[in-house]
Protein backbone atom coordinates (compact mmCIF):
# COMPACT_ATOMS: atom_id res chain seq x y z
CA UNK A 1 0.00 0.00 0.00
CA UNK A 2 1.02 3.61 -0.55
CA UNK A 3 1.57 6.16 2.25
CA UNK A 4 -1.54 6.38 4.34
CA UNK A 5 -4.06 9.18 4.49
CA UNK A 6 -3.33 11.78 7.19
CA UNK A 7 -6.94 12.95 7.23
CA UNK A 8 -8.60 16.35 7.04
CA UNK A 9 -10.48 18.68 9.34
CA UNK A 10 -14.15 17.97 9.96
CA UNK A 11 -16.48 20.11 7.84
CA UNK A 12 -19.98 19.78 9.30
CA UNK A 13 -21.38 22.41 6.92
CA UNK A 14 -20.83 19.97 4.06
CA UNK A 15 -22.32 17.03 5.99
CA UNK A 16 -25.49 18.93 6.94
CA UNK A 17 -26.39 19.71 3.31
CA UNK A 18 -26.25 16.11 2.05
CA UNK A 19 -29.37 14.45 0.65
CA UNK A 20 -29.16 11.30 -1.48
CA UNK A 21 -31.53 10.80 -4.43
CA UNK A 22 -32.69 7.29 -3.54
CA UNK A 23 -34.60 6.43 -6.79
CA UNK A 24 -31.65 7.57 -8.93
CA UNK A 25 -29.24 5.39 -6.96
CA UNK A 26 -31.52 2.37 -7.36
CA UNK A 27 -31.79 2.94 -11.13
CA UNK A 28 -28.00 3.05 -11.41
CA UNK A 29 -27.69 -0.15 -9.36
CA UNK A 30 -30.16 -1.92 -11.65
CA UNK A 31 -28.08 -0.93 -14.68
CA UNK A 32 -24.98 -2.53 -13.19
CA UNK A 33 -26.76 -5.76 -12.32
CA UNK A 34 -28.46 -6.08 -15.71
CA UNK A 35 -25.29 -5.66 -17.75
CA UNK A 36 -23.81 -8.59 -19.66
CA UNK A 37 -20.36 -9.61 -18.53
CA UNK A 38 -17.20 -10.06 -20.61
CA UNK A 39 -16.53 -13.51 -22.06
CA UNK A 40 -13.71 -15.94 -22.91
CA UNK A 41 -10.12 -14.67 -22.60
CA UNK A 42 -11.26 -11.21 -21.55
CA UNK A 43 -13.22 -12.74 -18.69
CA UNK A 44 -10.22 -14.81 -17.63
CA UNK A 45 -8.02 -11.70 -17.62
CA UNK A 46 -10.48 -9.73 -15.50
CA UNK A 47 -10.90 -12.64 -13.09
CA UNK A 48 -7.13 -12.86 -12.57
CA UNK A 49 -7.14 -9.13 -11.91
CA UNK A 50 -9.95 -9.62 -9.39
CA UNK A 51 -7.79 -12.15 -7.51
CA UNK A 52 -5.20 -9.43 -6.84
CA UNK A 53 -7.86 -7.31 -5.09
CA UNK A 54 -9.07 -9.98 -2.66
CA UNK A 55 -8.50 -9.68 1.07
CA UNK A 56 -8.70 -13.44 1.65
CA UNK A 57 -10.64 -13.66 4.88
CA UNK A 58 -11.46 -16.05 7.69
CA UNK A 59 -13.46 -14.68 10.63
CA UNK A 60 -14.82 -17.80 12.29
CA UNK A 61 -15.03 -18.74 15.92
CA UNK A 62 -13.27 -22.04 15.17
CA UNK A 63 -10.22 -20.51 13.44
CA UNK A 64 -7.00 -22.30 14.41
CA UNK A 65 -3.33 -21.86 13.53
CA UNK A 66 -3.58 -24.70 10.99
CA UNK A 67 -6.45 -23.21 8.97
CA UNK A 68 -4.73 -19.81 9.09
CA UNK A 69 -1.65 -21.53 7.62
CA UNK A 70 -3.78 -22.99 4.81
CA UNK A 71 -5.35 -19.59 4.17
CA UNK A 72 -1.94 -17.95 3.88
CA UNK A 73 -0.69 -20.64 1.50
CA UNK A 74 -3.77 -20.08 -0.68
CA UNK A 75 -3.16 -16.32 -0.60
CA UNK A 76 0.31 -16.89 -2.05
CA UNK A 77 -0.85 -19.52 -4.58
CA UNK A 78 -4.46 -18.49 -5.33
CA UNK A 79 -4.71 -20.21 -8.73
CA UNK A 80 -3.32 -23.64 -9.57
CA UNK A 81 0.02 -23.30 -11.34
CA UNK A 82 -0.92 -25.47 -14.33
CA UNK A 83 -3.90 -23.19 -15.01
CA UNK A 84 -1.70 -20.11 -14.85
CA UNK A 85 0.81 -21.76 -17.22
CA UNK A 86 -1.98 -22.45 -19.70
CA UNK A 87 -2.76 -18.72 -19.64
CA UNK A 88 0.95 -17.78 -19.74
CA UNK A 89 0.54 -16.01 -16.40
CA UNK A 90 2.58 -18.33 -14.18
CA UNK A 91 5.46 -15.87 -13.84
CA UNK A 92 3.40 -12.75 -13.02
CA UNK A 93 3.47 -13.17 -9.25
CA UNK A 94 -0.31 -13.27 -8.85
CA UNK A 95 -1.32 -13.34 -5.18
CA UNK A 96 -4.26 -12.04 -3.19
CA UNK A 97 -3.97 -8.48 -1.87
CA UNK A 98 -3.93 -9.49 1.82
CA UNK A 99 -5.17 -12.01 4.34
CA UNK A 100 -7.69 -10.81 6.91
CA UNK A 101 -8.09 -12.45 10.34
CA UNK A 102 -9.15 -11.83 13.92
CA UNK A 103 -6.62 -10.06 16.18
CA UNK A 104 -5.81 -13.27 18.06
CA UNK A 105 -4.76 -14.93 14.79
CA UNK A 106 -2.47 -12.16 13.52
CA UNK A 107 0.69 -13.83 14.87
CA UNK A 108 -0.28 -17.09 13.16
CA UNK A 109 -0.78 -15.30 9.83
CA UNK A 110 2.48 -13.35 10.08
CA UNK A 111 4.38 -16.54 10.90
CA UNK A 112 2.77 -18.53 8.08
CA UNK A 113 3.42 -15.86 5.45
CA UNK A 114 7.02 -15.49 6.59
CA UNK A 115 7.48 -19.27 6.32
CA UNK A 116 6.01 -19.12 2.80
CA UNK A 117 8.56 -16.47 1.88
CA UNK A 118 6.14 -13.76 0.83
CA UNK A 119 5.26 -10.24 1.98
CA UNK A 120 1.47 -10.31 1.56
CA UNK A 121 0.00 -7.88 4.13
CA UNK A 122 -1.85 -9.15 7.17
CA UNK A 123 -5.07 -7.29 7.91
CA UNK A 124 -6.80 -7.59 11.26
CA UNK A 125 -10.35 -6.67 12.16
CA UNK A 126 -10.47 -4.62 15.35
CA UNK A 127 -12.29 -2.03 17.46
CA UNK A 128 -14.94 -4.36 18.84
CA UNK A 129 -15.67 -6.22 15.61
CA UNK A 130 -18.38 -6.79 14.50
CA UNK A 131 -20.71 -4.69 16.70
CA UNK A 132 -18.40 -1.84 17.77
CA UNK A 133 -20.17 -1.69 21.14
CA UNK A 134 -17.24 -2.21 23.52
CA UNK A 135 -15.59 0.63 25.46
CA UNK A 136 -13.48 2.98 23.34
CA UNK A 137 -10.40 2.32 25.46
CA UNK A 138 -10.74 -1.41 24.79
CA UNK A 139 -11.21 -0.86 21.06
CA UNK A 140 -8.11 1.32 20.83
CA UNK A 141 -6.03 -1.20 22.77
CA UNK A 142 -7.20 -3.98 20.44
CA UNK A 143 -5.90 -1.95 17.47
CA UNK A 144 -2.54 -1.35 19.14
CA UNK A 145 -2.12 -5.04 20.05
CA UNK A 146 -2.91 -6.16 16.50
CA UNK A 147 -0.29 -3.75 15.13
CA UNK A 148 2.26 -4.97 17.70
CA UNK A 149 1.61 -8.54 16.55
CA UNK A 150 2.44 -7.59 12.96
CA UNK A 151 -0.77 -6.47 11.28
CA UNK A 152 -0.03 -3.80 8.68
CA UNK A 153 -3.69 -3.14 7.89
CA UNK A 154 -6.48 -2.65 10.43
CA UNK A 155 -10.18 -3.01 9.55
CA UNK A 156 -12.05 -1.16 12.29
CA UNK A 157 -15.80 -1.09 12.75
CA UNK A 158 -17.63 2.09 13.71
CA UNK A 159 -20.17 2.50 16.49
CA UNK A 160 -23.36 2.63 14.41
CA UNK A 161 -25.30 4.41 17.16
CA UNK A 162 -23.26 7.56 16.50
CA UNK A 163 -24.55 7.61 12.91
CA UNK A 164 -28.14 6.79 13.82
CA UNK A 165 -28.24 9.63 16.37
CA UNK A 166 -26.34 12.12 14.19
CA UNK A 167 -23.32 12.44 16.49
CA UNK A 168 -20.94 13.28 13.65
CA UNK A 169 -18.28 15.02 15.74
CA UNK A 170 -18.10 12.06 18.12
CA UNK A 171 -17.77 9.65 15.17
CA UNK A 172 -15.04 11.81 13.64
CA UNK A 173 -13.17 11.89 16.95
CA UNK A 174 -13.34 8.10 17.34
CA UNK A 175 -12.00 7.51 13.83
CA UNK A 176 -9.26 10.08 14.46
CA UNK A 177 -8.23 8.09 17.54
CA UNK A 178 -8.35 4.85 15.54
CA UNK A 179 -6.06 6.50 13.00
CA UNK A 180 -3.58 7.44 15.74
CA UNK A 181 -3.68 3.97 17.33
CA UNK A 182 -2.83 2.38 13.96
CA UNK A 183 0.50 4.18 13.77
CA UNK A 184 1.98 3.32 10.39
CA UNK A 185 -0.55 0.58 9.70
CA UNK A 186 -3.23 1.35 7.12
CA UNK A 187 -6.74 1.95 8.38
CA UNK A 188 -9.92 0.61 6.77
CA UNK A 189 -13.16 1.85 8.33
CA UNK A 190 -16.12 -0.54 8.17
CA UNK A 191 -19.41 1.36 8.02
CA UNK A 192 -21.75 -1.66 8.41
CA UNK A 193 -24.06 0.01 5.89
CA UNK A 194 -26.88 -2.50 6.41
CA UNK A 195 -27.37 -1.02 9.88
CA UNK A 196 -27.19 2.71 9.05
CA UNK A 197 -30.85 3.16 8.13
CA UNK A 198 -30.68 5.37 5.01
CA UNK A 199 -28.47 6.03 2.01
CA UNK A 200 -28.08 9.61 3.24
CA UNK A 201 -26.58 8.23 6.46
CA UNK A 202 -24.27 6.04 4.36
CA UNK A 203 -23.00 9.11 2.49
CA UNK A 204 -22.52 11.16 5.66
CA UNK A 205 -20.75 8.31 7.46
CA UNK A 206 -18.54 7.81 4.39
CA UNK A 207 -17.50 11.46 4.49
CA UNK A 208 -16.71 11.34 8.20
CA UNK A 209 -14.69 8.16 7.65
CA UNK A 210 -12.39 9.80 5.10
CA UNK A 211 -9.84 9.99 7.93
CA UNK A 212 -9.13 6.36 6.97
CA UNK A 213 -7.24 4.95 4.00
CA UNK A 214 -10.26 2.87 2.94
CA UNK A 215 -13.97 2.85 3.59
CA UNK A 216 -15.53 -0.60 3.70
CA UNK A 217 -19.17 -1.56 3.29
CA UNK A 218 -19.73 -4.30 5.85
CA UNK A 219 -18.42 -6.69 8.46
CA UNK A 220 -20.01 -9.64 6.68
CA UNK A 221 -21.95 -10.35 9.87
CA UNK A 222 -24.95 -8.04 9.24
CA UNK A 223 -28.25 -9.21 7.77
CA UNK A 224 -27.55 -7.02 4.70
CA UNK A 225 -23.96 -6.66 3.57
CA UNK A 226 -22.37 -5.27 0.39
CA UNK A 227 -25.04 -4.08 -2.08
CA UNK A 228 -24.73 -1.99 -5.22
CA UNK A 229 -26.89 0.93 -3.99
CA UNK A 230 -24.72 1.54 -0.91
CA UNK A 231 -21.59 1.02 -3.00
CA UNK A 232 -22.68 3.72 -5.46
CA UNK A 233 -23.25 6.16 -2.61
CA UNK A 234 -19.86 5.35 -1.03
CA UNK A 235 -18.02 5.58 -4.35
CA UNK A 236 -19.54 8.97 -5.10
CA UNK A 237 -18.58 10.16 -1.63
CA UNK A 238 -15.01 9.07 -2.41
CA UNK A 239 -15.19 10.95 -5.72
CA UNK A 240 -16.60 14.10 -4.09
CA UNK A 241 -13.92 13.96 -1.40
CA UNK A 242 -11.20 13.60 -4.04
CA UNK A 243 -12.55 16.57 -6.00
CA UNK A 244 -12.61 18.69 -2.84
CA UNK A 245 -9.29 17.66 -1.24
CA UNK A 246 -7.20 15.84 -3.84
CA UNK A 247 -6.96 12.82 -1.48
CA UNK A 248 -7.70 9.38 -2.88
CA UNK A 249 -9.53 7.08 -0.47
CA UNK A 250 -9.84 3.35 -1.15
CA UNK A 251 -13.02 1.29 -1.32
CA UNK A 252 -13.67 -2.23 -0.03
CA UNK A 253 -16.96 -4.08 -0.51
CA UNK A 254 -17.28 -7.10 1.80
CA UNK A 255 -19.90 -9.63 2.77
CA UNK A 256 -21.88 -11.83 0.39
CA UNK A 257 -19.54 -11.52 -2.61
CA UNK A 258 -19.21 -15.18 -3.55
CA UNK A 259 -19.32 -15.62 -7.32
CA UNK A 260 -16.85 -14.77 -10.08
CA UNK A 261 -19.67 -12.98 -11.89
CA UNK A 262 -20.22 -10.78 -8.83
CA UNK A 263 -16.54 -9.81 -8.75
CA UNK A 264 -16.67 -8.68 -12.39
CA UNK A 265 -19.66 -6.46 -11.62
CA UNK A 266 -17.78 -4.85 -8.71
CA UNK A 267 -14.72 -4.18 -10.86
CA UNK A 268 -16.93 -2.66 -13.55
CA UNK A 269 -18.68 -0.41 -11.03
CA UNK A 270 -15.43 0.93 -9.59
CA UNK A 271 -13.98 1.49 -13.07
CA UNK A 272 -17.04 3.47 -14.17
CA UNK A 273 -17.52 5.52 -11.00
CA UNK A 274 -13.88 6.28 -10.11
CA UNK A 275 -11.81 5.32 -13.16
CA UNK A 276 -8.85 3.04 -13.83
CA UNK A 277 -6.77 4.85 -11.18
CA UNK A 278 -8.74 3.06 -8.49
CA UNK A 279 -8.35 -0.41 -10.04
CA UNK A 280 -5.25 -1.32 -8.04
CA UNK A 281 -4.85 -2.96 -4.62
CA UNK A 282 -3.79 0.34 -3.06
CA UNK A 283 -7.29 1.72 -3.64
CA UNK A 284 -9.62 -1.23 -4.15
CA UNK A 285 -10.12 -4.46 -2.22
CA UNK A 286 -12.79 -7.14 -2.06
CA UNK A 287 -13.35 -8.78 1.30
CA UNK A 288 -14.26 -12.42 0.73
CA UNK A 289 -13.82 -15.94 2.05
CA UNK A 290 -15.34 -18.10 -0.72
CA UNK A 291 -15.04 -15.88 -3.81
CA UNK A 292 -11.56 -17.13 -4.72
CA UNK A 293 -12.82 -20.71 -5.03
CA UNK A 294 -15.39 -19.75 -7.65
CA UNK A 295 -12.90 -17.59 -9.58
CA UNK A 296 -10.47 -20.51 -9.73
CA UNK A 297 -13.32 -22.78 -10.82
CA UNK A 298 -14.23 -20.41 -13.68
CA UNK A 299 -10.60 -20.19 -14.80
CA UNK A 300 -10.39 -24.00 -14.72
CA UNK A 301 -13.45 -24.08 -17.01
CA UNK A 302 -11.89 -21.53 -19.37
CA UNK A 303 -8.70 -23.58 -19.65
CA UNK A 304 -10.15 -27.11 -19.80
CA UNK A 305 -13.69 -26.61 -21.12
CA UNK A 306 -15.22 -28.40 -18.13
CA UNK A 307 -15.99 -27.57 -14.52
CA UNK A 308 -13.82 -28.92 -11.74
CA UNK A 309 -15.00 -31.11 -8.92
CA UNK A 310 -14.46 -29.42 -5.57
CA UNK A 311 -11.63 -31.82 -4.64
CA UNK A 312 -9.75 -30.70 -7.81
CA UNK A 313 -9.33 -27.19 -6.40
CA UNK A 314 -8.64 -27.52 -2.67
CA UNK A 315 -8.00 -24.61 -0.33
CA UNK A 316 -4.31 -25.52 -0.25
What lies within 8 Å, CB to CB, of 239 at 6+ separation is: 273, 274
Contact 68, 150 (CB under 8 A): no
Which residue from 275, 270, 271, 263 is spatially nearest to 78, judged by alpha carbons? 263
Starting at the edge strand found earlier in the chain, the sheet holding 286-288 runs 250-252, 214-216, 186-190, 153-157, 122-126, 98-101, 54-57, 286-288
Assess whether 252 carries a catalytic annotation: yes
- CA-wise closest residue to 149 among 137, 139, 141: 141
Q: SS3 breakdown of the chain: % helix, strand, coil, rounded to 5? A: 50, 10, 40
Which residue of the set 108, 188, 216, 262 is catalytic?
Answer: 216
Helix (H) or strand (E) holding 143: helix 136-148
Q: Which residue out of 74, 76, 204, 252 is catalytically annotated?
A: 252
Question: Angle 192-4-135 (CA atoms, 0-180°, nearest 5)?
Answer: 45
Give the integer Cα–Cα distance in Å for 298 and 45: 11
Which among 155, 213, 262, 294 is annotated as catalytic?
Answer: 155
Cβ atoms 36, 294 nearer than 8 A: no
Give the count of beta carbons closer than 10 Å to the beta carbon of residue 181.
22
- As a whole number of angstroms, the distance between CA 44 and CA 30 comes to 24
Cβ-contact 97, 121 below 8 angstroms: yes
Q: Give the pairing of strands 214-216 and 54-57.
A: unpaired
Q: Are 293 and 313 in contact (CB under 8 A)?
A: yes
111 is catalytic: no
- Identify whether 155 is a catalytic site residue: yes
Active-site residues, by number, are 155, 216, 252
Amino acid sequence: MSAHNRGTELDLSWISKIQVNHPAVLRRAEQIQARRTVKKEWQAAWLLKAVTFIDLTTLSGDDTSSNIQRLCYKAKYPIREDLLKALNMHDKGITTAAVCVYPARVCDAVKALKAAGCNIPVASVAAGFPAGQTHLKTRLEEIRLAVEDGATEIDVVINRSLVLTGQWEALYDEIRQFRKACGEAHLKTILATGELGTLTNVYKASMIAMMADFIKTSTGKETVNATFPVAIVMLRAIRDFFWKTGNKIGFKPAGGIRSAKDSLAWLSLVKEELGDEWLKPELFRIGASTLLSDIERQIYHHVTGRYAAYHDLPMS
